[in-house]
């Protein structure tokens, strides 16, 4: 029976290897008609997620033709004011799905299908799936147009490859796309942190050292890092982080690090390779990077440790292999940075500790003083409560919890949470409960409204970080103002009409336009706070416009006017 199991596993591994070798040998059609120029690569560190594709520049233009990279069929189309905006998915016979995001529109026949669905269901935002026979496409077929929709910071094509079955994101430069790259990654800084036996930060101490060029390789100015007894107090373990960039393509687009290996002495103790990432595990990036440095200083630090609770696919080494001191140490350290084209740079230095080790604290985070990541917690006071499921926390958190009738306060907003944490708060008296919401008070006193539900007479919200949580009320309707026309205009000669919209406390959740009483498809550009209505070629004459907005607390605004469209 054991022999059969081994053969079965080998067969599966061989099948997987053959599948990906076929994918890698695929000659894909370019998604654009212009030369492919990267503006961001796969795996770049972002707030709460890895960059799950590559960004191709469109030269600052909107409306460039987008082509299916291979034959297949349109499997999904989604339109939302957030995220990918207008996005189209194409499934291919080789088991890969290609994704084209931030589009300005879809090919004419596809657009007609989507528009009919929107009008039938009176939906501006849609998420539609299709079967293989509904919208077939050929290799190189026009499917959409590039744009700037959703959470896009400027016109470009966000392009992804995914494993169709698992929906894991794949690095396009590893799985079939060829972008010229002859330059190795460039390390810029290294960071050292004292940690305990679980890989948790021991305290707030940190050393940062600039990297310098040393011949063909890299080092630090003195060639060695001398650790002090104060820095190593209570531990014998050190975590290293690395910051750097990779210049890709003939235009040397600045991208993030791809593959990192840490060698201490003669042993490779850490290895990561950001070639595939599961969307289910995306938020684990907040444990992979130095989250506090990213939030406060926008630094993208890759921590060279695989903690036992972090299940990212990028780790290629066993958990909790760390640099351990013995006393009177002199340890040669090598950090290898490799890009998707196998260009490698090497950073060498020596880690020195010239004294005997002090007492090792085997319980640096006692449960009496800290909330521990592997435990669940529920605290309630004065009608307010906070709860954590196991592994909601990435690091132990000092028990500084304060719960009053007005707030819940624990830690700061730069302490991230994975999943499974929530707050429950008592509503404000004499104010309708459906007009209330929970908000997070940020480090700079900014208020972030959380998605709030009413459950059994209480307000409840999932939380993604620690901090101070309070309840507020939104009794004010959204605002609507003319944007590309004047409030006094009685006629316009435009292909589209636009309104500037806003909601000061929460956010707009529902938006509908009626022209002469008939529902009309509109687009909400949330980042620019614009709502647009595009007219059909024969759509003209005197029209009655009624734009209706609602925010998440149900406050409604209505804008009405008769305008002649020429």
Task: Tell me the average confidence (pLDDT) per consecutive run of 10 residues in the chain, 566 residues long.
Answer: 38 40 66 94 94 96 98 98 97 98 98 98 98 97 98 96 97 91 96 96 95 94 95 96 94 94 97 96 96 95 97 96 94 97 97 92 92 97 97 97 97 94 96 97 88 97 97 98 96 95 96 98 97 91 97 98 95
Query: Residue 496 belongs to a domain with what CATH number?
Result: 2.60.40.1220
361 within a domain of the structure (yes/no): no
- Output the pTM of the full model: 0.92
Residue 201 sits in the same domain as residue 349: yes
Residue 202 sits in the same domain as residue 298: yes
181 within a domain of the structure (yes/no): no
Q: Where are the beta strands (DSSP E) in 442-555?
A: 447-449, 452-455, 458-462, 467-473, 479-482, 491-492, 496-502, 508-515, 518-520, 523-525, 530-534, 541-551
Residue 34 sits in the same domain as residue 137: yes
What is the spatial distance between Cα 248 and Cα 245, in angstroms, rounded to a whole number?
10
Residue 294 sits in the same domain as residue 378: no
**DSSP assignment of 308-350:** TT---TTB-S-TT--EE--SSEEEEEEEEEE-TT--EEEEEEE
Total domains in the chain come to 4
Given 135, 170, 205, which residue is the final one in a domain?
170
What is the spatial distance between Cα 269 and Cα 318, in angstroms, rounded to a whole number?
8
Q: What is the pLDDT of residues 11-51, one digit of tens each?
A: 433 443 434 444 445 689 999 999 999 999 999 999 899 99
Q: State whether residue 454 is helix, strand or coil.
A: strand
Domain ranges, residue 462: 370-473
359 within a domain of the structure (yes/no): no
Q: Would you put residue 43 in left (φ > 0), alpha (ψ -120 to 50) or beta?
A: left
Residue 458 sits in the same domain as residue 536: no
Residue 197 sits in the same domain as residue 278: yes
179 within a domain of the structure (yes/no): no
Q: What is the pLDDT of residues 398-421, one digit of tens each?
A: 999 999 999 999 999 999 999 999
Residue 335 sits in the same domain as residue 200: yes
Nearest to 558 by CA among 510, 507, 505: 510
Given 473, 503, 530, which residue is the final one in a domain?
473
118 within a domain of the structure (yes/no): yes
pLDDT of residue 26: 64
pLDDT of residue 22: 42
pLDDT of residue 443: 78
Tokens encoding 249: 């393509």
Query: Residue 43 belongs to a domain with what CATH number?
Result: 2.70.70.10
Given 473, 506, 530, which residue is the final one in a domain?
473
Residue 72 per-residue DSSP state: E
6 within a domain of the structure (yes/no): no
pLDDT of residue 515: 97
Helix ranges restricted to H, 122-192: none
146 within a domain of the structure (yes/no): yes
Residue 154 sits in the same domain as residue 55: yes
């Amino acid at each position: 029976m054991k022999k059969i199991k081994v053969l079965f596993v080998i067969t599966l591994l061989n099948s997987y290897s053959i599948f990906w070798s076929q994918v890698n040998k695929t000659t894909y059609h370019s998604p654009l008609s212009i030369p492919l120029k990267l503006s961001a690569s796969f795996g770049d560190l972002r707030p709460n997620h890895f960059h799950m594709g590559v960004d191709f520049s469109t030269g600052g233009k909107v409306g460039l033709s987008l082509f299916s990279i291979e034959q297949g069929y349109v499997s999904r189309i989604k339109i939302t004011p957030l995220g990918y905006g207008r996005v189209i998915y194409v499934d291919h016979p080789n088991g890969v799905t290609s994704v084209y995001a931030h589009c300005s529109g879809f090919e004419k026949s596809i657009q007609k299908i989507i528009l009919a669905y929107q009008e039938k269901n009176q939906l501006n935002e849609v998420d539609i799936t299709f079967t293989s026979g509904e919208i077939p496409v050929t290799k190189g077929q026009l499917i959409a147009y590039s744009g700037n929709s959703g959470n896009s910071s400027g016109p470009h094509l966000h392009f992804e490859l995914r494993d169709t079955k698992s929906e894991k994101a794949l690095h396009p430069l590893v799985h079939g796309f060829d972008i010229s790259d002859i330059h190795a990654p460039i390390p810029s800084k290294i960071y050292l942190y004292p940690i305990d036996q679980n890989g948790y930060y021991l305290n707030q101490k940190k050393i940062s050292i600039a990297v310098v060029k040393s011949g063909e390789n890299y080092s630090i100015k003195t060639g060695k890092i001398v650790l002090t007894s104060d820095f190593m107090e209570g531990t014998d373990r050190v975590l290293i982080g690395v910051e750097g960039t990779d210049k890709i393509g003939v235009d040397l687009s600045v991208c993030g690090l791809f593959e990192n290996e840490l060698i201490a002495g003669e042993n490779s103790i850490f290895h990561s390779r950001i070639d595939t990432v599961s969307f289910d595990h995306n938020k684990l990036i907040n444990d992979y990077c130095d989250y506090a440095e990213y939030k406060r200083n926008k630094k993208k630090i890759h921590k060279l440790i695989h903690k036992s609770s972090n299940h990212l696919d990028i780790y290629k080494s066993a958990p909790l292999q760390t640099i351990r001191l013995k006393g009177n140490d002199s340890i040669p350290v090598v950090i290898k940075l490799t890009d998707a084209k196998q260009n490698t740079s090497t950073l060498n230095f020596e880690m020195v500790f010239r004294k005997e080790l002090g007492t090792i604290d085997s319980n640096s985070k006692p449960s009496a003083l800290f909330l521990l990541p592997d435990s669940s917690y529920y605290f309630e006071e004065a009608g307010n409560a906070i709860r954590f499921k196991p592994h909601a926390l990435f690091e132990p958190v000092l028990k500084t919890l304060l719960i009053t009738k007005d707030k819940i306060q624990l830690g700061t907003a730069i302490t991230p949470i994975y999943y499974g944490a929530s707050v429950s708060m008592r509503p404000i008296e004499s104010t309708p409960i459906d007009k209330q919401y929970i908000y997070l008070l940020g480090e700079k006193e900014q208020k972030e409204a959380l998605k709030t539900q009413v459950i059994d007479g209480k307000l409840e919200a999932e939380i993604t970080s620690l901090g101070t949580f309070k309840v507020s009320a939104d009794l004010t309707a959204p605002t609507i103002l003319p944007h590309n026309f004047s409030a006094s205009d009685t006629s316009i000669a435009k292909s589209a009409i636009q309104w500037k919209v806003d909601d000061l406390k929460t956010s707009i959740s529902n938006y509908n336009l009626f022209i002469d009483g008939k529902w009309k498809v509109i687009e909400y550009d949330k980042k620019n706070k614009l709502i647009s209505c595009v007219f059909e070629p024969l759509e003209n004459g005197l029209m009655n416009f009624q734009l209706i907005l609602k925010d998440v607390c149900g406050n409604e605004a209505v804008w009405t006017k008769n305008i002649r469209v020429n």
